[in-house]
Amino acid sequence: MKRFLALTLIGTYVFSVGVPVPPADASPAIGLPISAGSALLWDVATQRVIYAKSPHSRRAPASTTKIMTALVVAEKLSPNQVVRIPGWVKSIEPSKVYLRAGERYRVRDLLHATLISSANDAAEVLGVTVAGSRTRFAQLMNAKAHSIGCHNTHFTNASGLPTGSQYSTVYDLALIMKEAKKNSLIVDSLSRKYQTIRSLSGRKIFLRNHNRLLWRNPQSVIGKTGYTRKGKHCFVGRISWGGREVLISMLGSQRLWKDLKVLLDYQFGMAFYKMYKNRRIWSKTQTRQMQEALAHAGYSPGEADGKFGPKTVRAVELFQKARGLVPDGIVGNQTCVELSRYGFPKSYCR
């Protein structure tokens, strides 16, 4: 309970430091160490953009497309409607759950397969069931996207399989997620770690969610992953923590889970608070000298670049722990004195 309150207060503190709302393509308020080409954090209650990196740059959305697919399907079909799997399903590229021609499934189960296991075959079958063809379903997707304010998005299929003319932005994906979170069936699917679906004849298919954050993160993070060789890793979702909701979207990531951790820590964790606090205390020159002292002590933070980032915070924590200090990652007077034994100027200590 104490840890929950502490993180909640820190999240509130970080939010209150006054990160400005960026214009269309503003630089982020702080240079977060993420590999993604575009990223966005958007507070639901205040409608305030907390963090943005190239929010309106068009990029391949990969399987995050399936959130829009689910939205259109949920509007057009009953969850209990029965769908017969067509013969062309075997030609759909992976990832898929290998639906068999002639099998019958309820819409609800095909949506589970689409959102939990990112099944391209389930998504495409649902789209054709709704509209009669892949092309007509894409038209419905684009009409829905435009109706909720997505002006830099164009879909060409239900699955997110790459085509040259399929694109979106992290801003538009956040708008789509904002709409999707109103639908209880979509939220339920995205929240499930595992699910078993059955054809009407009884064949079982086991589903495992691609979203690792359902297992490893203390916040409630639901969402949809995606990947193509061209578009790299993608994610769109919703974070719930301490009574707050934040929409998160990311496109073009080289290291999905590390980037997501940085974004989550920025708004809800300890790491950003520690970076922010140290940057208020120490100049770039002092930080470089500190990094060199940490390296001499055997706790290298990597390159001595004068930037108080996550690696430097971690090196300080390990240094403090080894010397019996509180490992809070913040270089106060006691830590400063200890670092002076390894070349950090003692005149900096207060």
Give the residues across from 228 on adjacent strands: 232
Give the C-alpha separation, 89 to 156, whole Å. Answer: 17
Residues in the chain: 350
User: Which CATH class, in words, describes the domain spanning 273-348?
Assistant: mainly alpha
Give the C-alpha separation, 247 to 179, whole Å. Answer: 11
What's the confidence (pLDDT) of residue 48? 87
What's the confidence (pLDDT) of residue 151? 96
Low-confidence ranges of the chain (pLDDT < 70): 1-30, 217-219, 242, 269-273
3-state SS of 168-237?
A: ECHHHHHHHHHHHCCCHHHHHHHHCCEEEEECCCCCEEEEECCCCHHHHCCCEEEEEEEEECCCEEEEEE
Give the C-alpha separation, 270 to 39, whole Å. Answer: 20
Q: In CATH terms, are 62-268 and 273-348 the same topology? A: no
Q: Per residue in 118-154, pLDDT tens?
A: 999 999 999 999 999 999 999 999 999 999 999 999 9
Contacts of 299 (CB under 8 A, 6+ apart): 315, 316, 318, 319, 322
Q: Are 267 and 48 in contact (CB under 8 A)?
A: no
Q: Are 233 and 254 in contact (CB under 8 A)?
A: yes
Q: What residue type is 225 in one-letter code? A: T
What's the confidence (pLDDT) of residue 45? 87
A 10 A CB-CB count for 204 gives: 8
Contacts of 261 (CB under 8 A, 6+ apart): none
Give the C-alpha separation, 339 to 295, whole Å. Answer: 10
What's the confidence (pLDDT) of residue 218? 61
β-strand pairing of 244-253 with 232-241: antiparallel
**Helix (H/G/I), strand (E/B), else coil: 262:** helix
Q: Are 39 and 263 in contact (CB under 8 A)?
A: yes
At the fourth CATH level, the homologous superfamily of domain 62-268 is: DD-peptidase/beta-lactamase superfamily (3.40.710.10)
Domain boundaries, the chain: 62-268, 273-348
Give the C-alpha separation, 106 to 88, whole Å. Answer: 19
Q: Is the peptide bond before 95 cis (omega within 30 degrees of 0)?
A: yes
Threshold 0.85, pTM exceeds? no
Quick one: 89 exposed, middle or buried, by C-beta within 10 A (0-12, 13-18, 19+)?
Answer: buried
